[in-house]
Structures are given as structure tokens and as C-alpha cells.
């Protein structure tokens, strides 16, 4: 919920739709309906690859997907203001804005600034400073 709380949409939805796509380690917690500290409800939805993520989701959480499957999801998100978060994405280069890195009991995240810039949602600079930026090759 942390990253979500620091994200703003062009038109703030009264309820956020968080879609989990693919097998995810934290899916059970994510699909349980929740409420943000602001009081806005977050509705968890499991969505298959054939779903329309761009139209049906405000937040997309990607579990274990292959590169081709990720590209399919990100093609659906193009032009839609959707926050994207992936787990098990070491490179953080395909399209997710945030990539969770879990090592033992520690969780950190990488940020793909290019995806954040093109994503259609605004993320607080405070969150951007906390994450590790994706390294670019010279």
C-alpha cells in the first residue's frame, strides 16, 4: 500500500482497482480488499492474461510472467494511467514502474524512471528517492 498511497491519477478514482496478473508470492494479501490510510478503498482482482488491464485496472501487480507475457500486458496498458509493479523482475527493464526485490526478509524496490515518466500517473518524488534506480548502460 505504500507506493500506492504516494501515487496520483489524472482523475482520482473513488475506488482503486488493483489487478494481480500471473502467479504472485503476495497475491493473497493483494486480492483481499483493503483501505488506504486516506480512506479510499482498494479492490483486489485476479486478472488473466486475456483480460483488459488498461481499461479494468488502476494498479497492475505482475507475478511470475515470461518476457512475452509481460510485453502483452504492457501493450494493454499503453495510453492508460496505470501504476505497474512487478515481483521477480531483476532487470526492471521491460515496462514496470516499480520492481520489488525480495531477499530473505528484506524487501527493496527498483524504479524504472522511463516507465514512470510514460505511465500517466504521478508518483511522489519522495518515493522515487527511496528506490534504487535501474542502472543504464553507457
- For residue 18, which phi and psi values (nearest 5 degrees)? -100, 110
Take residue 107 and report the three cell numbers written for it.
524487501
List the chain domain ranges: 3-135
Give the pLDDT confidence of 46-63 residue by residue, as tens digits. Answer: 998 888 899 999 999 999
- CA separation for the pair 33, 16 (Å, rounded): 10
| Whole-number pLDDT of residue 132 | 57
| pLDDT single digits (tens) 118-133 | 889 999 988 877 765 5
What pLDDT sits at residue 22?
A: 92
Class for domain 3-135, per CATH? alpha beta
pTM of the model: 0.87
Residue range 4-15, pLDDT digits in tens: 888 999 999 999
Amino acid at each position: 500500500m505504500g507506493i500506492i498511497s504516494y501515487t496520483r491519477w489524472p482523475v482520482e478514482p473513488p475506488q482503486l482497482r488493483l489487478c494481480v496478473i500471473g502467479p504472485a508470492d503476495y497475491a493473497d494479501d493483494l486480492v483481499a480488499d483493503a483501505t488506504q490510510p486516506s480512506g479510499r478503498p482498494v479492490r483486489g482482482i485476479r486478472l488473466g492474461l486475456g483480460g483488459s488491464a488498461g481499461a479494468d485496472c488502476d494498479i497492475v501487480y505482475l507475478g511470475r510472467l515470461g518476457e512475452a507475457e509481460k510485453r502483452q500486458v504492457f501493450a494493454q496498458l499503453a495510453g492508460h494511467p496505470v501504476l505497474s509493479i512487478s515481483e521477480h523482475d531483476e532487470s526492471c527493464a521491460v515496462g514496470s514502474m516499480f520492481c520489488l526485490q525480495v531477499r530473505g526478509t528484506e524487501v527493496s524496490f527498483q524504479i524504472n524512471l522511463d516507465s514512470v515518466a510514460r505511465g500517466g500517473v504521478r508518483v511522489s518524488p519522495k518515493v522515487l528517492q527511496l528506490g534504487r534506480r535501474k542502472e543504464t548502460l553507457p
